[in-house]
Amino acid sequence: MYAIDAKGLDYRRLNSRIREAVAGGATRLSLSNVNGHRYIACGLRGPLKIELNGTGGNDLGAYMNGPEITVKGNVQDCAGNTMNAGSIIVEGRAGDILGYGMCGGEILIRGDVGSRTGVHIKAGEGQGPVLIIGGTAGDFLGEYMAGGTIIVLGLDSDAAAVGRQCGVGMYGGSIFVNARSFPGYAGKGVVVSSPDDEDLALIAGNIARFAGLFGLDAAAVLKDGFVKLTPRARRPYGSMYVGA
Amino acid sequence: MLKLQKAKFEIGRDFDRCVGCGVCVNQCANEVHFRDPYDESVCADDIKCVGCQRCVHLCPTGALRVVSFASRTREHGLWTSTVINEIHLQSDSGGILLSGMGHSRPDTVYWDRILLNASQVTNPSIDPLREPMELKTFLGRKPPLNRKNSLDAPEKYPQLELEIPVMFAAMSFGSVSLNVHKSLARAAMSQKTYWNTGEGGLHPEVRAYRDRAIVQVASGRFGVSPEYLEEGACIEIKIGQGAKPGIGGHLPGEKVTGEVARTRKIPPGSDAISPAPHHDIYSIEDLSQLIYSLKEATAYRKPVAVKIAAVHNVAAICSGMARAGADILVIDGYRGGSGATPLRIRNDVGIPVEFALAAVDRRLREEGIRNEVSLVVSGGIRNSADVAKAIALGADAVYIGTAALVALGCHMCQNCYTGKCNWGIATVNPRLARRLNPDIGTLRAENLLRAWKHELAEFLGGMGMNAIESLRGNRLMLRGLGLTERELEILGIKAVGE
C-alpha cells in the first residue's frame, strides 16, 4: 500500500504524486486528508485500487479506465465523468452530475446524490455502466440516457427517491426505482412498468454487491420491489425532420 | 394527400448518346435512375434527384445533364420558389426542415469586401519563388508578458507546430466515411498540419496519424477514453458549431453501423445524440473544470482548444474561455458546414466569422491577453485569400471543412444527412464509401494545401513580408470596400482609398 498525505498539497501536486506512484508501479494507493482536491485519478488506467479518506473533489475518476476508488467520505460534483471502466464506491453522498456520459464501469453511492446524475450514460460494446444510489437522487436523473442501468434505493428516508424529469429524453437503458419511494411521475417519453424476471435477476445481482460493500441486508433492500423506467422509443427524434 | 413538394432538378438524357450501359443506375444511391421493367430502357425519377452530378461525371457517353427544374412558380421577390417549396414540404410532413452543409443564403461575404495590400516602389515586394517564405505557425498558450502576474505559468507550454496555418476541421467518423478521415489525416501528416477527429472517436485504422490528430470532446462524449485523449496531439472541447449554435447533434441510427458504433462506444443502430449543452458546463468556471480535467488526464502535455459558434457576445465569451484555461480558442462562423442541421438554425442563428474574429481579437488585445492564447477561425473559408485576410484580422490559423470535402469530390448537394452520398464522403455505406479512394483523396487534399501555400507566399511577398507572423493581426494590410462606417469600425480596418 502506497500512502499519500494530501494535507498541504494543492490538487496539481497531489495528482502528480499519484501519477508518479502509478508510473512507479504502485497498484494500491491510500490517500489521506483529501479535502476537495479535484481530478483525483482522472484518466488513470489499469488495475489500481485507491482508498480515499476525506472528501473527493470535483471530477473524481474522470475518463478513468479500470481503477477502483473507495471513498471513505463524500464526493463533490462530476465524479466518474465520462468514465470507461472501473469502480467508484462512496460511503457517503455525491454531488451533482455524477457519472456524466459514462460508458462503462460502476458507481455505487451509499447515500444521496445531487441533480443531473447519470446524464447521457451509454453502453459501449460489451460494456454496461451501472449506477446504484442508496439514498435519493435529484432532478434530471438519467436524462438523455442511452444505455446501462441505474438503480435508486431510497434507503433511510421516506422522501421521493427521484426528482422531477427523471429519464427525460432517454433513448436506451433502464432505471429501476424503489417502488415504495417512487414519486409516481417521470420525465416526458418515459414508460413506467414493472421489472420482469430478467430485470429482477439483474437488480438482485447488483444489490447483493451493493449490500455486501456497505454492510446492508440485501433482502431488506429488495423487499419493497421496484418500478422500471424505460424509453418510449429507441429513436425519439427519428421522424421529426424532413429533408429540405 | 397530394404531395405539393416538387422536384429540384430534372434529368436530361440524350437518347442519341445513351447506350443503356446502366452506370447511372448503379451509381445513384438516391435511385433516380432505373431500368424500365418492360423494355429495359433507362429512365429517371426526377423528384429523387439531389443534384450531386455523380451520374453526369460517370456517364461514359456524356448523355446526361442534371439541371435546375425549369418549371417555376410565378416570379415574386418575397415568395420565391424556394420559399414556397419549403412551406409545401412542411405542410406535407410537419417536419423540421433538415439540411446538410452551411448557410445557403447569398448574404454579404465580408471576405470579398476586404482587400489586401501590396508593396509598390517603397518597401519592395519579395519574390517567393526565389526567397524563403515562412508560414510556420505555433498554436498553444504562450507565457504572459508579465510573468509575475500569472498564477499558472508552467515552464513549458505544449504547442502545435504547423507548416501552413490551415487545418482540417472536425468531421466525425460516422458523419463522413473512414476514407475521408484517411485522406485528410495523411494529407495533414505530409503537409505538417493537423486534422480533427470530430466527436466520433478515433478509428483504429487512422491511429497511425494520431501525431497530427486533434481529438474532440463534445457533449455526447462519444469515444472518449484515456487512450483517445492520450493519442491526440491536442484536445478540442466542442461547445458549439457555426452551422447550429445552441443546439445539439444527432447522428441517425442508419449511420451508426458496426464500426461507427464501436468507435463511438454505443450499440449499433441506435441514434447518437449529442445534447445541446455539456451538462457538466453551466458556467465559465465549469468550462475551466473540464479544461483542467483534460489537462490532468494528459499530465499537461497537450494544448486544450475550445470551439464555439460565433454568436452575439462572442468577444466576452472568448475572454472567459481564455481565462478559463483554453490554450486555443476556435470560433466557427455562421457559414460553417454541417452534416445535418435544421435549415432555420443554419441560416438564421449566429454571426459572420469576419466580425466575430475582429471583435474577439480586439477584446483580447484590450484586456492584454491576446498574446497568451491562439485564435483559430472557421466557417466558410473558401480559398487562400480568405486565409490571408483572416490572419491579417487577427487569426493564428484557420480550419477548413467544406473546402476540404470539396477537394475530395463533394459537389454540395447538401444531402449529407441521408447517408446516401454518391461521392463516398458523407456516408458509411461500404458500397458508396469505397468510391473515395483514400490514396487519391490524400493527393487531392495535399494538392489543395500545396496550392494555398504557394498563394499565401505570393500574398506575403507582394506585401514585402517574408513571414506569416508579419501579417498576423496586421490590419494595416486590409481595406474595406463598400462597407459602412460602423462595419469598418468593428472590423478595425480603413476604407479603400484611405
Whether A153 is in a domain gets the answer yes
Whether B167 is in a domain gets the answer yes
Separation CA B480–CA B115 (nearest Å): 6
With an 8 Å Cβ cutoff, is A15 touching chain B? Answer: yes
With an 8 Å Cβ cutoff, is A38 touching chain B? Answer: yes
Q: How confident is the model at residue B22 (pLDDT cuts 50, 70, 90)?
A: very high
How far off is chain B from A243, nearest CA to CA, in Å?
Answer: 5
Going by C-alpha positions, the residue among B376, B354, B379, B382 that lies closest to residue B245 is B379
Separation CA A55–CA A90 (nearest Å): 10
Among B136-145, B407-416, B433-442, the range scoring the smallest mean pLDDT is: B136-145
CATH code of the domain covering residue A63: 2.160.20.60
Separation CA A182–CA B439 (nearest Å): 58
Whether A203 is in a domain gets the answer yes
Contacts of A18 (CB under 8 A, 6+ apart): A4, A29, A31, A40, A41, A44, A50
Q: How confident is the model at residue B146 (pLDDT cuts 50, 70, 90)?
A: low
Separation CA B164–CA B212 (nearest Å): 13
Whether A240 is in a domain gets the answer no
Q: How confident is the model at residue B149 (pLDDT cuts 50, 70, 90)?
A: low
With an 8 Å Cβ cutoff, is A243 touching chain B? Answer: yes
C-alpha cell at A93: 453522498
- For residues B91 and B116, membership in a common domain is answered with no
Whether B104 is in a domain gets the answer no
How many residues can be counted in chain A? 244
Separation CA B186–CA B195 (nearest Å): 9
Separation CA B38–CA B18 (nearest Å): 18
Whether A236 is in a domain gets the answer no
Of B95, B120, B146, at which residue does a domain stop? B95
Collect all residues of chain B within an 8 Å Cβ-Cβ radius of residue A122. 265-266
Q: pLDDT tens digits, chain A, 244 residues: what are they?
A: 899 999 999 999 999 999 999 999 999 999 999 999 999 999 999 899 999 999 999 999 999 999 999 999 999 999 999 999 999 999 999 999 999 999 999 999 999 999 999 999 998 777 789 999 999 999 999 999 999 999 999 998 999 999 999 999 998 999 999 999 999 999 999 999 999 999 999 999 999 999 999 999 999 999 999 999 999 987 777 778 888 8
Collect all residues of chain A within an 8 Å Cβ-Cβ radius of residue B417. 241, 243
Whether B107 is in a domain gets the answer no
Separation CA B60–CA B58 (nearest Å): 6
* A38, A124, A240: residue with CB nearest B265: A124
Among B47-56, B276-285, B326-335, the range scoring the smallest mean pLDDT is: B276-285
pLDDT of the residue at B148: 60
- For residues B245 and B190, membership in a common domain is answered with yes
Q: How confident is the model at residue B273 (pLDDT cuts 50, 70, 90)?
A: confident
pLDDT of the residue at A233: 82
Q: How many domains does chain B have?
A: 2
How far off is chain A from B16, nearest CA to CA, in Å?
Answer: 34
Collect all residues of chain A within an 8 Å Cβ-Cβ radius of residue B270. 146-147, 171-172, 234-235
Of B95, B120, B145, at which residue does a domain stop? B95
pLDDT of the residue at B304: 98
Q: How confident is the model at residue B147 (pLDDT cuts 50, 70, 90)?
A: low
User: Looking at residues B282-287, what average pLDDT do you find?
Assistant: 95
User: Looking at residues B170-174, what average pLDDT do you find?
Assistant: 94
Of B42, B69, B95, at which residue does a domain stop? B95
Residue type, B275: P
Separation CA B212–CA B195 (nearest Å): 6
Asked whether residue B154 carries a pLDDT value surpassing 70, the answer given is no
Angle at B107 between CA B101 and CA B111, to 5 degrees: 90
With an 8 Å Cβ cutoff, is A124 touching chain B? Answer: yes
pLDDT of the residue at A49: 98
Range of the domain at A177: 2-231
Q: Is the distance from CB of A100 to CB of A119 less than 8 angstroms?
A: yes
Collect all residues of chain A within an 8 Å Cβ-Cβ radius of residue B99. 243-244
Asked whether residue B145 carries a pLDDT value surpassing 80, the answer given is no
Residue B210, Cα to own-chain centre: how many angstroms? Answer: 20
Please give the helix or strand (H or E) that residue B370 lies within, else none.
none
Please give the helix or strand (H or E) that residue A197 lies within, else none.
helix A197-214
Whether B106 is in a domain gets the answer no
- Are A116 and B279 inside 8 Å of each other by CB? yes
Collect all residues of chain A within an 8 Å Cβ-Cβ radius of residue B6. none
CA separation (Å) from A143 to A135, A174, A233, B273? 19, 11, 14, 12
Collect all residues of chain A within an 8 Å Cβ-Cβ radius of residue B86. 244
Q: How confident is the model at residue B183 (pLDDT cuts 50, 70, 90)?
A: very high
- For residues B397 and B476, membership in a common domain is answered with yes
Going by C-alpha positions, the residue among B405, B482, B497, B439 that lies closest to residue B175 is B405
Q: Number of A:B CB contacts under 8 A?
A: 145
- For residues B69 and B182, membership in a common domain is answered with no
- For residues B89 and B159, membership in a common domain is answered with no
Residue A177, Cα to own-chain centre: how many angstroms? Answer: 14
CA atoms within 13 A on the CB side of A170: 33
ipTM here: 0.95
- Are B293 and A63 inside 8 Å of each other by CB? yes
Separation CA B206–CA B213 (nearest Å): 9
Q: How many domains does chain A have?
A: 1
List all residues of chain A from 191 to 220 with a beta carbon under 8 Å from chain B. none
- For residues B76 and B197, membership in a common domain is answered with no
Q: How confident is the model at residue B71 (pLDDT cuts 50, 70, 90)?
A: confident
- For residues B84 and B197, membership in a common domain is answered with no
Separation CA A151–CA A134 (nearest Å): 8
How do residues B298-342 score in pLDDT, each as one tens digit? 999 999 999 999 999 999 999 999 999 999 999 999 999 999 999
pLDDT of the residue at B73: 82
CATH code of the domain covering residue B458: 3.20.20.70
Computed from CA positions of residues B6, B8, B11, B12, in that sequence, does the dihedral angle turn out positive or negative? positive
Strands B166-168 and B397-400: parallel
- Are A100 and B221 inside 8 Å of each other by CB? yes
Separation CA A31–CA A18 (nearest Å): 9
**Chain B residue with minimum CA distance to A66:** B226
CATH code of the domain covering residue B84: 3.30.70.20
How do residues B116-133 score in pLDDT, each as one tens digit? 999 999 889 999 999 999
Whether B4 is in a domain gets the answer no
Listing DSSP states for B172-219 in one string gives -BTTB-HHHHHHHHHHHHHHT--EE--TT---GGGGGGGGGEEEEE-T
- For residues B154 and B54, membership in a common domain is answered with no
Asked whether residue B53 carries a pLDDT value surpassing 80, the answer given is yes
Place of cell 479544461: B291
With an 8 Å Cβ cutoff, is B443 touching chain A? Answer: no
With an 8 Å Cβ cutoff, is B252 touching chain A? Answer: yes
With an 8 Å Cβ cutoff, is B285 touching chain A? Answer: no
* B98, B266, B343: residue with CB nearest A122: B266
With an 8 Å Cβ cutoff, is A125 touching chain B? Answer: yes
Separation CA B199–CA B69 (nearest Å): 37
State the distance between the two ends of chain A, measured CA to CA, in whole angstroms. Answer: 62
pLDDT of the residue at A142: 97
- For residues B74 and B202, membership in a common domain is answered with no
CA atoms within 13 A on the CB side of B468: 26
Q: Is the distance from CB of A59 to CB of A31 less than 8 angstroms?
A: no
- For residues B203 and B90, membership in a common domain is answered with no
Whether A13 is in a domain gets the answer yes
Three-class HEC string of B419-439: CCCCCCCCCCCHHHHCCCCHH
- Are B275 and A120 inside 8 Å of each other by CB? yes
> Which residues on adjacent β-strands are paired with residue B116?
B478
- For residues B157 and B73, membership in a common domain is answered with no
Whether A243 is in a domain gets the answer no
Phi, psi torsion values for A120, nearest 5 degrees = 55, 40
- For residues B83 and B187, membership in a common domain is answered with no
- Are A234 and B97 inside 8 Å of each other by CB? no
How do residues B199-250 score in pLDDT, each as one tens digit? 989 999 999 999 999 999 999 999 899 999 999 999 999 999 999 999 988 7
Alpha-carbon torsion angle B85, B89, B90, B92, nearest 10: 130
Going by C-alpha positions, the residue among B61, B74, B71, B92 that lies closest to residue B10 is B71
Whether B356 is in a domain gets the answer yes
With an 8 Å Cβ cutoff, is A126 touching chain B? Answer: no
DSSP code at position A153:
-
pLDDT of the residue at B491: 98
Range of the domain at B418: 112-495
